Structure 1
Amino acid sequence: MSAELSSETVNDVEGTAEAERTLTALVKAAFPHETVPDTAYARTAAVVQKQAEASTWMRLKLAQGLDSLQALAGGRFEQLSAQEALPILLRIQHTTFFGFVRQTVVVTLYEDEEVWDALGYEGPSFDKGGYIDRGFDDLDWLPDPRIEEYDGEPLQEVVSDLPASASTSSTRGAAVPAGQSRARAGRVGNRRKDRA
């Protein structure tokens, strides 16, 4: 692959098996999970390619990004381990290409039910009656769930000692006639009407 990409080259890069393998390897390196099967990563990479097809500009960025990955990896990005791929990912992390891949993968990969199974997520519950009716207290995904009950004395209810006639309205300052300030009415500061 070359640094200069014509529209013919862009179309050639997109559909190649090499491009698919490189993109799948990128998704797997950027979102590594030991239990997630390669098929989920491949499906996610296919969605990234399909999303890029909607825009000539994104198709170009995808082709350039895949080309750059291969150049940075010496033509063998899909053969790198996650540890070997990390420095390359750090070099491209602020590119439009990687941003597009990342935002598409975050949504697509973690919507995949095969990924849910691999990560131990039971899926959404709104369509099954909510969490209350579906294992709300199921904490088997935690190493050692602990729920402690309060064994102390019952809490006392605090009741106000104020008489019923004492309310917030009686403790509030009286209304000031229109056109007068509280200072002129003798309600603010040390000034009073009789001292004026």
Structure 2
Amino acid sequence: MATTPSTPVATTLTSPASRELLKDVARAMFPHPSFPDAPYERAVGTILEAAEADVRLRAQLEQGLRDVDVVGGSPFAELDDAARLAVLRRIEGTAFFEHVRTRLVTGLYDQKPVWDLLGYEGSCPDGNGYLGRGFDDLDWLPEPQIVDPHRDEIVR
């Protein structure tokens, strides 16, 4: 029995399939396996909100999603990580790619829950400076050895 090849996702931005495809693109561009879906969904939401107000952007995103879904020879959702990366490399010079990448940088990494996941404690002014906030809590570095040039022994 012959199998029917999968068909690409519908590309109207209002469809759940398009939102899911854009989230898959976001995860492929900025892979963090330990992140839940919620930060990616919020970041995708900012892109889709911008497209609601801009007809040209909406058309660009719809076309870009159609392209992403066919460039790899199979729908993007069915590709493994290496094939998804290859698709993104093929389209990285397009306006679609640049727009999505630029919006994802801020849309993904400007979220407090993402800061918590990455161990970022926030900006200096928001916490009254870094002094007393653990600026020196580099527990992932070994203790430095302090050598006194006038003695042959390690001080610390």
Which residue does the alignment assign to 2:80? Answer: 81
Q: Which has the larger radius of gyration?
A: 1
Which residue does the alignment assign to 1:120? Answer: 119
Deviations 1:127-151 (A, max 9, x none): 11111121111102x2x33334352
Q: How does 1:164-183 map to 2 (within 5 A)?
A: none
Deviations 1:141-173 (A, max 9, x none): x2x3333435235xxxxxxxxxxxxxxxxxxxx
CA RMSD of aligned residues (A): 2.2
Deviation at 1:86, TM superposition (A): 0.7
1:24 maps onto 2:35 in alignment: no
Deviation at 1:88, TM superposition (A): 0.4
Flag structure 1 segments of 5+ consecutive residues without an equivalent.
3-8, 154-196
Alignment equivalent of 1:149, drawn from 146, 149, 155: 146
- Amino acid of the structure 1 residue aligned with 2:123: P
Deviation at 1:80, TM superposition (A): 2.4
TM-score with structure 1 length normalisation? 0.66
Q: Report the count of equivalent residues.
A: 143
TM-score with structure 2 length normalisation? 0.82
Question: Could you tell me whether the CA contact under 8 Å between 2:44 and 2:107 is conserved in 1?
Answer: no
Deviation at 1:17, TM superposition (A): 0.8
> Taking structure 1 as reference, are residues 136 and 64 closer, same or farther at Cα in structure 2, changes over 3 Å only?
same
Question: Could you tell me whether the CA contact under 8 Å between 1:40 and 1:114 is conserved in 2?
Answer: yes
Which range moved further: 53-62 or 13-22? 53-62
Tell me how far apart the structure 2 counterparts of residues 23 and 110 of structure 1 sit (CA, whole Å): 17
Question: Could you tell me whether the CA contact under 8 Å between 2:18 and 2:65 is conserved in 1?
Answer: yes
Question: Could you tell me whether the CA contact under 8 Å between 1:27 and 1:105 is conserved in 2?
Answer: yes
Which residue does the alignment assign to 2:45? Answer: 46
Between the aligned residues of both structures, percent identity stands at 36
Which residue does the alignment assign to 1:14? Answer: 13
Tell me how far apart the structure 2 counterparts of residues 44 and 150 of structure 1 sit (CA, whole Å): 49
Tell me how far apart the structure 2 counterparts of residues 75 and 30 of structure 1 sit (CA, whole Å): 18
Tell me how far apart the structure 2 counterparts of residues 78 and 43 of structure 1 sit (CA, whole Å): 19
Which residue does the alignment assign to 1:181? Answer: none
More helix by share: 2
Tell me how far apart the structure 2 counterparts of residues 14 and 32 of structure 1 sit (CA, whole Å): 23
Q: How does 1:60-99 map to 2 (within 5 A)?
A: 60-74=59-73, 76-99=75-98
